[in-house]
């Protein structure tokens, strides 16, 4: 393909990638160069291994060297925003396609980030020009909601990334949608090489029968929020914290922003030092919260 200059993409990011991340990028690009244009490749890496970092650097290199565009699909708005932020850190100018996004300026962008349902609507309404999309990246590729969009990109190279290369629907195996699986570093390798911490895990019995599975194979947002924000679940969380983490710095990860805010209010009312952090915080706010966390004994951050 022809070489083009795309300004920001020519500048490298300040981020330093680990050796295994560089290796993954090289391995994927080797497959990209040798496989057909419509090849579907799945890349698996454990949670915490830096999948978003890997594909963000891939996007930067791809746009620098190819006269094509890139589309990244996610299944949650939080992931869209996080992905957009990471791409920006890699000097990749990008546009989020959300429900109220104005697409009149789409010609000014070479990289788009979109939620699956919003993208499906825009494509069916012919509001997005995808004629020059050469690379489609699917985050959390084990969710089956993405597959209905494959028909729009019959001449594009697909890269699915996931920590769980097992379909969310047992009746729709991933082998039906991907030509090949590349397995990255294992959890044990990442721990042994000190890329991941060695964790002690404790579990608590909780009732999950109220969760409802939606059309995309995932639990619905409402049923998940209703469960994790009810008093019984918040009391169970407080119990777990006081039994296992009290007196230590603590990170609490939640299913969504609403739940995290409930957790924040609950712990604050109990007199604990806690801060809430999500993708709506500005860079300055994030820096202040992380600085506070570093300096404050027994600090707690609740996030998504």
- Residue ranges per structural domain of the chain: 7-192, 221-303
CA-derived radius of gyration, the chain: 21
d(CA 174, CA 213): 19
* Alpha carbon 156 to its chain's center: 21
Superfamily of domain 7-192: P-loop containing nucleotide triphosphate hydrolases (3.40.50.300)
Q: What is the pLDDT of residues 283-298, one digit of tens each?
A: 899 999 999 999 999 9
CB atoms within 10 A of CB 111: 24
pLDDT confidence of residue 5: 37
pLDDT confidence of residue 170: 74
Q: In the predicted model, what is the mean pLDDT of residues 121-143?
A: 92
d(CA 77, CA 79): 5
pLDDT confidence of residue 218: 73
pLDDT confidence of residue 88: 95
Q: Is pLDDT of 97 > 90?
A: yes
Ordered strands of the 157-162 beta sheet = 95-97, 111-115, 69-74, 133-139, 157-162, 40-44, 180-183
Provide the CATH number for the domain formed by 221-303 in this structure.
Answer: 3.40.50.300
d(CA 227, CA 147): 29
Write down the mean pLDDT value for the chain.
Answer: 91
- The 3-state DSSP composition of the chain as helix, strand, coil percent (nearest 5) reads 40, 15, 40
For the ranges 11-20, 58-67, 202-211, the maximum mean pLDDT occurs at 58-67
d(CA 147, CA 153): 11
pLDDT confidence of residue 4: 36
CATH topology agreement for domains 7-192 and 221-303: yes
Q: Which residue has the tokens 């390798």?
A: 189
Q: Is pLDDT of 246 > 70?
A: yes
Q: What is the pLDDT of residues 198-245, one digit of tens each?
A: 988 899 888 888 988 887 667 888 999 999 999 999 999 999 999 999
pLDDT confidence of residue 147: 87
Q: How confident is the model at residue 70 (pLDDT cuts 50, 70, 90)?
A: very high
- Cβ–Cβ under 8 Å, residues 163 and 44: yes
pLDDT confidence of residue 21: 98
């Amino acid at each position: 393909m022809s070489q083009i200059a795309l300004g920001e993409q020519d500048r490298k990011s300040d981020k330093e990638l680990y050796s295994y991340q560089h290796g993954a990028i090289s391995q994927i690009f080797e497959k990209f160069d040798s496989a057909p244009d419509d090849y579907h490749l799945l890349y698996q890496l454990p949670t915490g291994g830096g999948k978003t970092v890997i594909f963000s650097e891939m996007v930067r290199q791809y746009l620098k060297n190819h006269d094509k565009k890139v589309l990244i699909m996610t299944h949650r708005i939080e992931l869209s925003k996080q992905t957009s932020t990471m791409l920006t850190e890699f000097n990749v100018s990008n546009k989020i396609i959300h429900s109220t996004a104005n697409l009149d300026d789409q010609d000014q962008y070479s990289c788009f980030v979109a939620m699956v349902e919003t993208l499906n609507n825009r494509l069916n309404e012919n509001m997005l020009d995808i004629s020059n999309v050469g690379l489609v990246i699917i985050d959390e590729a084990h969710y089956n909601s993405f597959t209905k969009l494959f028909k729009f990109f019959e001449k594009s190279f697909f890269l699915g990334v996931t920590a769980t290369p097992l379909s969310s629907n047992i009746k729709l195996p991933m082998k039906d949608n991907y030509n090949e699986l590349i397995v990255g570093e294992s959890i044990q390798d990442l721990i042994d090489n000190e890329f991941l911490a060695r964790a002690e895990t404790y579990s608590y019995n909780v009732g999950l029968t109220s969760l409802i599975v939606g059309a995309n194979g995932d639990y619905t947002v409402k049923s998940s929020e209703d469960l994790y924000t009810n008093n019984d679940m918040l009391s169970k969380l407080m119990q777990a914290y006081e039994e296992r983490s009290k007196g230590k710095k603590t990170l609490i990860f939640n299913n969504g922003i609403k739940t995290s805010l409930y957790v924040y209010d609950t712990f604050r009312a109990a007199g604990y030092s806690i801060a809430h952090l999500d993708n709506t915080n500005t860079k300055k706010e994030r820096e202040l919260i992380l600085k506070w966390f570093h300096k404050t004994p027994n600090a707690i951050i609740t996030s998504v």
